[in-house]
Amino acid sequence: MIVTRFAPSPNGLLHLGHAFSAIVAHDLAQEAGGRCLLRVEDIDGARSRPDLPEAFRADLAWLGLAFEEVPAQSTRLARYRDAAEALRREGLLYPCRCTRAEIAAGARELGADGPVYSGTCRAAGLDPREPAAWRLDIAEALRRTGALTWTDERAGVQQARPDLAGDVVLVRKDADTPASYHLAATLDDAADGVTLVTRGADLFAATHVHRLLQELLGLPVPVWHHHPLLLDQSGRKLAKRRNSPSLADRRAAGEDGRELARELRKGCWPAGITLSNALHGEP
């Protein structure tokens, strides 16, 4: 059975980009007679607002989408700690105290998420008892796993290239945010039995890292589906930080959510993306 998921973070209200992503996850599951899960990714420290998950549920119901809710990330911290500790015991994590400015200054190239970490602390011998972020030694991890592949429904079979991201952070220095997105999302999808990971194309590069983590931790390997992003009139993706109009505001204004969902499915938006293309079209 196909199991998809929509996994918003409660650090801002949902906007049309989230609605489109939720529709893709929902409709792919519905087409296959499968299940679609709602998982709240609420471990982003002080940025996570406890009032927002209820707004998310109201938004999804307003759009006419039914989801099966699973436990939020904040209930899964022990699992993240256990996985990180297992990787430490295997000698695959090392502490890092570099600042963002230091990382930017020492980076030799840019990756999908900005400057690629140069590995400054890999052999620095830092005291692991002192506060630090913990990074995955990508080169050593790949030496142990060998070549890996993963499959995207739209883009086909991919050769895993986690090295392009550098030694990513898996455990953050901030105690309020114990696991990075890479570690938490990978573990959660496995725990929830997700077989088709649906998310925006902006997370395509992250999947290389997630495939490596699955191999290291002995987790099942799903198929991925990275859909196109909705763009605003200037050609930029919709984002909370740019105050894209929220679904909650549209609800409060009396807009018809089911009609909005129908318009998004037909591609009635400046990006010109139809749901048919997002589900089955070319990447």
* pLDDT (tens digit per residue) in 38-67: 999 999 877 889 999 999 999 999 999 999
Q: Assess if residue 181 is contained within a domain.
A: no
* % of the chain beyond a pLDDT of 70: 89
Q: Assess if residue 153 is contained within a domain.
A: yes
Q: Are residues 21 and 87 in the same domain?
A: no
Q: Assess if residue 180 is contained within a domain.
A: no
Which contacts (CB < 8 Å, 24+ apart) does range 258-267 have? 258/62, 258/63, 258/64, 260/19, 260/63, 261/19, 261/23, 261/63, 261/64, 261/65, 264/16, 264/19, 264/20, 264/23, 265/23, 265/27
| Number of domains comprising the chain | 2
CA dihedral 43, 206, 226, 191 (to 10 degrees): -50
Range among 12-21, 36-45, 141-150, 243-252 with highest mean pLDDT value: 141-150
Q: Assess if residue 205 is contained within a domain.
A: yes
pTM: 0.91
Q: Are residues 192 and 66 in the same domain?
A: yes
Q: Are residues 224 and 234 in the same domain?
A: yes
Whether 246 shows a pLDDT value over 60: the answer reads yes
Quickly state the pLDDT bin for 271 (edges 50, 70, 90): very low
Q: Assess if residue 28 is contained within a domain.
A: yes
Q: What is the pLDDT of residues 72-125, one digit of tens each?
A: 999 999 999 999 999 999 999 999 999 888 888 877 787 777 888 988 999 888
Whether 242 shows a pLDDT value over 80: the answer reads no
Alpha helix segments (H runs only) across the chain: 16-31, 52-62, 77-89, 100-106, 138-145, 181-191, 206-217, 247-252, 257-266, 275-280
**Is residue 22 a contact partner of residue 200, using CB atoms and an 8 Å limit?**
no
Specify the pLDDT at position 245.
77
Range among 107-121, 185-199, 242-256 with highest mean pLDDT value: 185-199
Q: Are residues 153 and 195 in the same domain?
A: no
Mean pLDDT of the chain: 90
Quickly state the pLDDT bin for 233 (edges 50, 70, 90): low
Q: Are residues 245 and 124 in the same domain?
A: no
Q: Are residues 82 and 153 in the same domain?
A: yes
Q: Assess if residue 177 is contained within a domain.
A: no
Q: Assess if residue 37 is contained within a domain.
A: yes
Specify the pLDDT at position 46.
75
Specify the pLDDT at position 230.
82
- Region 10-37: what's the mean pLDDT? 95
Does 87 or 274 have the greater pLDDT score? 87
Q: Are residues 191 and 270 in the same domain?
A: yes
Q: Are residues 71 and 191 in the same domain?
A: yes
Domain end (from 138, 171, 204): 171
DSSP helix/strand/coil, 92 = coil
Whether 11 shows a pLDDT value over 50: the answer reads yes
Q: Are residues 203 and 239 in the same domain?
A: yes
Does 252 or 231 have the greater pLDDT score? 252
Does 283 or 1 have the greater pLDDT score? 1
Specify the pLDDT at position 241.
56
Q: Assess if residue 178 is contained within a domain.
A: no
Domain end (from 171, 205, 223): 171
Domain end (from 143, 171, 199): 171
CATH code for the domain of 154: 3.40.50.620
* % of the chain beyond a pLDDT of 90: 71
Domain boundaries, position 232: 3-75+186-280
Give the residue from 186, 266, 176, 185 showing the smallest Cα distance to 218: 186
Does 129 or 97 have the greater pLDDT score? 97
